[in-house]
């Protein structure tokens, strides 16, 4: 590797910079230039709700069927190319309701006058949803499709040709320390608000002539107090000539940034003694009172509260209902009338999405507070429950604990078993007597169970009242997986039992598990998960033992020949003797029993197999046992039964293994590593564990 010097590294960084993009993002021009932009692309004038809705839709959607219900997955929330750390999995219903809220608000159907409140248990991704929206709108404002603009005022004298002087790098004060001739719109307002009220209707009629409804320009609201002041002052300077006044306006591209407090505001409850409403609506600048002589002069007021700086974008209220009642009153006008009241000034128009999130105890307190009827009436609540689909819960842990992030080997099914337990704690006991909680989990996860249809899954979801609103948070599971990685790092890997032991021991100190009955119930569910894991690894070892591809193909060919002869009432030609014989019923049943095909259903199953083979033949395709999951499982189990005695897996327990058996065990171990993702240590442990089960004679399910 060649050692780089400072000059070459400096040049390297310089080459990575995109100067053209910088110039585009920092575009500025006259008001006339901006009108040209609006005429060619009216989308730049969209309001905050329209912009967020379009941003979400620009990522595209997927449609899928779940229990006969057509659902939409919005790619914006799970796209791993954009902020993979905050990707959201498995909350499709909640996210559909969220996007429908934005869609209705974008069309002006009324929800734009509401506070959006995400409600759910701790750790259900409420904050993550808002954080993703904030990051998304930041990124969107940097794209051509999400471009928007604001303006600055020049308060000095124009040059003789009516052009503006160069824009200073410091807006607040010029280099000599005196007040600058430049003043930005403190609330990053839409430049079209500079169109006089009395001229707007005719202006919009002219601008929108011949345009379809979705491309028509709307102008809503008035300028903020400082802009109104400058507007008035400049208009008086030019004796009411608006065309001369507007020359003092410089329009520029607006880029949202939470860090720079541009277009994105965040408000969080603090100690009541150290917090007041000026954090939302701005405060007096006492230094400037001496300059302007009055605290009611808009130039002596800092319009930099969270509501002010979030104009044109989004404001987040963290744990919204923990706020003091005085703060919640500000939300009433901000939501319904889209106006805020700053001290000593008239109500000011805002254009922003107000989104808060809260947990159940706070929401129940709001419901019981009769003095907050006005806020309740202006709130749209969207429940964000815990995930109840196993595969989506697994994705959360795989995002945080994968090979790129974790050097320690994580044995197969470790994250799956942790996720399974978490989901089980969130499910309500099914009312059907013949259905266990684990079976319910599998049905929700898309698995098929004999005797249950998609209609049954629909019924299960309907009968559940609070499913997903209680249970174990993903944060608890993540913490315990982290503990396992630390505690067992000397072992070089972690397995499901290590994590499950951490999950169980941690319940003693879990702050949200105070009821002993609940703790006992969660422990019982861990036992259910351990049993399920046992069945899974037994099956994997069976498959590893019977993974002789050629042997399975021979067994499959033999089975198909016999099934074909049976269904067509023919005889089978014995390959060794050449004589025609009756189909081998014993062979066929020994395979079919492995997947619980009863005697009464054997004819139907055999006809299904032959019909499937016939359909493939019509399409010009060749039958492969791997294309039929049930048949593949039956063949593997049959082959395992035929081979397990020759491998003598149980001899592992006694630690006395002859060379021939050891070679066969090493082959099985190699298959576990290659085909199932184990490493040397975890494969050895799994073989020992399964061997101990067989040694006890516990081969149920084998």
Distance from C-alpha of 101 to C-alpha of 118, rounded to nearest angstrom? 12
**Structure confidence by residue, pLDDT tens digits, 473-527:** 999 999 999 999 999 887 889 999 999 999 999 998 888 787 888 999 999 999 9
Mean pLDDT score of the chain: 88
Say which residues have a Cβ less than 8 Å from residue 334's Cβ, sequence separation at least 6: 307, 340, 350, 354
Which uninterrupted H or E stretch holds 252? strand 249-253
Q: Which of 1-10, 409-418, 452-461, 645-654 has the lowest mean pLDDT?
A: 645-654
Q: Residue 413 — left, alpha, or beta (φ > 0 → left; ψ -120 to 50 → alpha)?
A: left
Q: In CATH, which superfamily holds the domain spanning 18-384?
A: P-loop containing nucleotide triphosphate hydrolases (3.40.50.300)
Asked whether 190 and 338 are in contact (CB, 8 A), the reply is no
Angle, alpha carbons 243-42-164 (nearest 5°): 35
Asked whether 633 and 595 are in contact (CB, 8 A), the reply is yes
The answer on pLDDT for 647 being more than 80 is no
Q: Where in the chain is the domain with CATH 3.40.50.300?
A: 18-384
**Structure confidence by residue, pLDDT tens digits, 257-305:** 999 999 999 998 876 666 777 889 999 998 888 888 888 999 999 999 9
Q: Detail the DSSP E strand segments found in 474-603.
A: 493-494, 572-573, 580-581
How, if at all, do strands 493-494 and 409-410 pair?
Answer: parallel
* pTM exceeds 0.75, yes or no: yes
* Mean pLDDT within 439-462: 87
**3-state SS class at 92:** helix
Q: What is the pLDDT of residue 146?
A: 96
The answer on pLDDT for 33 being more than 80 is yes
Confidence of residue 209 (pLDDT cuts 50, 70, 90): very high
Confidence of residue 179 (pLDDT cuts 50, 70, 90): low
Distance from C-alpha of 141 to C-alpha of 255, rounded to nearest angstrom? 5
The answer on pLDDT for 546 being more than 90 is no
Q: Which of 158-162, 221-225, 353-357, 599-603 has the lowest mean pLDDT?
A: 158-162
Asked whether 541 and 672 are in contact (CB, 8 A), the reply is yes
CA nearest neighbour of 56 among 95, 107, 89: 95
Confidence of residue 651 (pLDDT cuts 50, 70, 90): low
Distance from C-alpha of 389 to C-alpha of 3, rounded to nearest angstrom? 51
The answer on pLDDT for 403 being more than 60 is yes
Which uninterrupted H or E stretch holds 463? helix 454-463
Q: What is the pLDDT of residue 2?
A: 53
The answer on pLDDT for 217 being more than 50 is yes
The pair of three-digit structure tokens given for residue 475, joined into one six-digit string: 């944060």
Report CA torsion sign: 652, 655, 661, 665. Answer: positive
Q: Which of 217-231, 266-280, 304-318 has the lowest mean pLDDT?
A: 266-280
The answer on pLDDT for 694 being more than 80 is no
Q: What is the pLDDT of residue 290?
A: 85
Q: What is the pLDDT of residue 205?
A: 95
Higher pLDDT, 610 or 433: 610
Q: What is the pLDDT of residue 547?
A: 67
Asked whether 303 and 112 are in contact (CB, 8 A), the reply is no
The pair of three-digit structure tokens given for residue 275, joined into one six-digit string: 């917090």
Q: What is the percent of the chain where pLDDT is above 90?
A: 52
């Amino acid at each position: 590797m060649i050692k780089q010097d400072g000059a070459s590294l400096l040049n390297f960084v310089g080459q990575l910079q995109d100067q053209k993009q910088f110039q585009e993002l920092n575009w500025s021009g006259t008001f006339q230039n901006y009108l040209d932009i609006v005429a060619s692309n009216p989308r730049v004038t969209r309001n905050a709700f329209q912009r967020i809705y379009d941003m979400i839709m620009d990522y595209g959607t997927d449609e899928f069927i779940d229990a006969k219900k057509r659902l939409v997955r919005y790619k914006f929330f799970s796209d791993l190319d954009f902020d993979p750390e905050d990707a959201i999995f498995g909350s499709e219903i909640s996210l559909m309701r969220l996007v429908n809220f934005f869609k209705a608000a974008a069309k002006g159907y009324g929800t734009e006058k509401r506070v959006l409140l995400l409600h759910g248990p701790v750790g259900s991704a409420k904050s993550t949803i808002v954080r993703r929206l904030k990051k998304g709108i930041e990124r969107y404002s940097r794209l051509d499709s999400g471009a928007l603009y604001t303006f600055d005022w020049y308060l000095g004298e124009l040059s003789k040709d009516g052009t503006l002087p160069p824009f200073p790098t410091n807006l607040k004060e010029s280099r000599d320390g005196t007040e600058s001739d430049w003043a930005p719109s403190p609330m990053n307002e839409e430049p079209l608000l500079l169109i006089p009220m009395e001229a707007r209707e005719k202006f919009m009629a002219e601008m929108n002539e011949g345009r379809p409804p979705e491309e028509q320009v709307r102008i809503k609201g008035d300028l903020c107090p400082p802009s109104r002041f400058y507007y008035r002052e400049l208009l008086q300077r030019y004796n009411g000539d608006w065309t001369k006044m507007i020359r003092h306006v410089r329009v520029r591209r607006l880029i949202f940034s939470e860090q720079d407090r541009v277009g994105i505001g965040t408000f969080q409850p603090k100690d009541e003694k150290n917090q007041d409403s000026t954090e939302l609506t701005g405060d007096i600048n006492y230094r400037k009172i001496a300059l302007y002589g009055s605290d009611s002069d808009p130039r002596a007021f800092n319009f930099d509260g969270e509501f002010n700086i979030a104009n044109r974008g989004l404001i987040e209220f963290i744990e919204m209902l923990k706020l003091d009642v005085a703060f919640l009153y500000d939300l009433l006008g901000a939501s319904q009338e889209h106006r805020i009241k700053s001290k000593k000034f008239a109500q000011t128009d805002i254009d922003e999405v107000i989104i808060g999130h809260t947990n159940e105890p706070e929401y129940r307190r709001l419901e019981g507070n009769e003095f907050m009827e006005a806020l309740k009436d202006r709130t749209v609540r969207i429940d964000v429950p815990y995930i109840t689909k196993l595969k989506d819960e697994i994705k959360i842990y795989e995002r945080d604990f994968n090979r790129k992030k974790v050097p320690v080997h994580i044995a197969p099914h470790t994250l799956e078993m942790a996720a399974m337990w978490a989901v089980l704690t969130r499910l309500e006991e099914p009312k059907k007597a013949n259905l266990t909680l684990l079976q319910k989990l599998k049905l929700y996860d898309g698995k098929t169970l004999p005797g249950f249809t998609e209609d049954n899954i629909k019924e299960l979801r309907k009968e559940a009242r609070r499913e997903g609103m209680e249970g174990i948070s993903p944060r608890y599971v993540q913490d315990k997986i982290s503990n396992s990685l630390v505690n067992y790092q000397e072992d070089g890997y972690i397995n499901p039992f290590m994590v499950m032991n951490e999950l169980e021991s941690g319940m003693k100190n879990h702050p949200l598990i105070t009821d002993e009955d609940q703790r006992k119930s969660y422990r019982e569910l861990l036992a259910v998960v351990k049993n399920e894991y046992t069945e899974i690894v037994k099956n994997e070892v069976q498959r590893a033992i019977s993974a002789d591809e050629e042997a399975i193909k021979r067994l499959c060919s033999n089975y198909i020949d016999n099934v074909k002869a049976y269904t067509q009432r023919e005889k089978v030609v014995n390959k060794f003797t050449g004589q025609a014989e009756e189909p081998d019923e014993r062979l066929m049943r020994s395979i079919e029993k492995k997947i619980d095909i009863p005697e009464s259903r054997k004819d139907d199953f055999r006809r299904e197999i032959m019909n499937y083979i016939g359909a493939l033949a019509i399409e010009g395709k060749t039958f492969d046992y791997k294309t039929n999951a049930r048949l593949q499982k039956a063949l593997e189990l049959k082959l395992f039964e035929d081979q397990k005695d020759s491998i003598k897996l149980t001899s592992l327990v006694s630690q006395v293994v002859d060379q021939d058996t050891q070679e066969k065990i090493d082959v099985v171990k190699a298959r576990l590593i290659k085909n199932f993702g184990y490493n040397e240590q975890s494969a050895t442990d799994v073989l020992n564990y399964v061997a101990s089960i067989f040694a006890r004679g516990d081969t149920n399910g084998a």
